């Protein structure tokens, strides 16, 4: 096993002492292992905040490709898995928070929608650090995506933090209902929550039209 493989393995194991030793022996911080994964990639993936901090101190690239298919970035990977402590370390180091990676992922959207109900603590941290709550990924905000996936709790959390619903947000609710008619009551509750904060209608559309379409 060469030194790059050893570094990536130590990082994935959360072995900060081993990581420091290997870096001291000349391991290149962002050198990939045989599977194309770097030490930072693996440490983020496994949620090892101390190792992430050590690798950043050694010059690891915060915007490098990450994830099994190299489609993500360290911050997006951490956000999607709800590794809140790691997200904090990356933000402290200046990791970008807008669309990133080859697929244009937005960390807040991933934190809000990954899993059954997203990762509330990670979402809260990102918003506390000033991330734009209405940032768009593939033409949808975090709120739009949460509605589209029928994540009722996250919808309430985002609305409580100032997310701005639009006619498109209610359209997402209608789309979710079309895919999951058994969820009508939940979608009606989501729609009521959106209307309670004054959904902005689309051009030429009367207020309340979208809600009526859910009936």
pLDDT tens sequence across 44-98:
999 999 999 999 999 999 999 999 899 999 999 999 999 999 999 999 999 999 9
**Helix, strand, coil proportions of the chain in percent (round to 5)?**
55, 5, 40
What tokens does 124 get?
A: 């809260």
Task: Please report whether residue 101 resides in a domain.
Answer: no
Burial 97-109 (b: 16+ CB within 10 A, else e): bebbbeeebbbbb
- Burial label for 162, CB within 10 Å (0-12, 13-18, 19+), is exposed
Burial 116-129 (b: 16+ CB within 10 A, else e): ebbbeebbebbbee
Say which DSSP state 105 is in: B
Task: Please report whether residue 20 resides in a domain.
Answer: no
Instruction: Output the CA torsion sign for 201, 202, 206, 210.
Output: negative
Task: Please report whether residue 47 resides in a domain.
Answer: no
pLDDT on residue 118: 97
pLDDT on residue 201: 58
pLDDT on residue 10: 98
pLDDT on residue 1: 79
Task: Please report whether residue 174 resides in a domain.
Answer: yes
Judged by DSSP in three states, 100 sits in strand
Task: Please report whether residue 107 resides in a domain.
Answer: no
pLDDT on residue 214: 54
Task: Please report whether residue 48 resides in a domain.
Answer: no
Name every residue whose Cβ is closer than 8 Å to that of residue 197 and which is 6 or more positions away in sequence: 159, 165
- Burial label for 111, CB within 10 Å (0-12, 13-18, 19+), is buried
User: Across the chain, where does the E strand assignment appear?
Assistant: 136-137, 140-141
CA 43, CA 52: separation in Å to the nearest integer?
6
Task: Please report whether residue 100 resides in a domain.
Answer: no
Domain region containing 150 = 140-215
Task: Please report whether residue 123 resides in a domain.
Answer: no
pLDDT-flagged residues of the chain (< 70): 199-215
How many domains are contained in the chain? Answer: 1
């Amino acid at each position: 096993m060469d030194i790059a493989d050893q570094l990536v393995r130590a990082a994935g194991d959360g072995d900060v002492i081993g990581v420091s030793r290997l870096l001291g022996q000349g391991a290149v911080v962002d050198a990939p292992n045989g599977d194309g994964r770097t030490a930072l990639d693996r440490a983020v993936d496994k949620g090892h905040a101390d190792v992430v901090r050590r690798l950043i101190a050694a010059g690891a690239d915060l915007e490098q490709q990450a994830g099994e298919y190299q489609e993500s970035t360290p911050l997006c990977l951490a956000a999607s898995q709800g590794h809140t402590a790691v997200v904090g370390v990356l933000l402290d180091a200046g990791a970008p928070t807008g669309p990133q990676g080859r697929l244009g992922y937005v960390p807040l959207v991933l934190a809000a929608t990954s899993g059954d109900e997203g990762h509330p603590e990670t979402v809260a941290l990102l918003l506390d650090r000033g991330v734009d709550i209405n940032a768009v990924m593939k033409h949808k905000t975090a709120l739009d995506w949460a509605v589209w996936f029928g994540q009722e709790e996250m919808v309430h959390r985002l609305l409580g933090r100032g997310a701005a619903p639009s006619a498109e947000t209610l359209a997402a609710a209608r789309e979710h209902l079309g895919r999951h008619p058994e969820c009508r009551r939940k979608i009606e509750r989501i729609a009521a929550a959106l209307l309670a904060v004054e959904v902005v209608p689309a051009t030429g559309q009367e207020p309340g039209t979208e809600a009526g379409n859910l009936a």
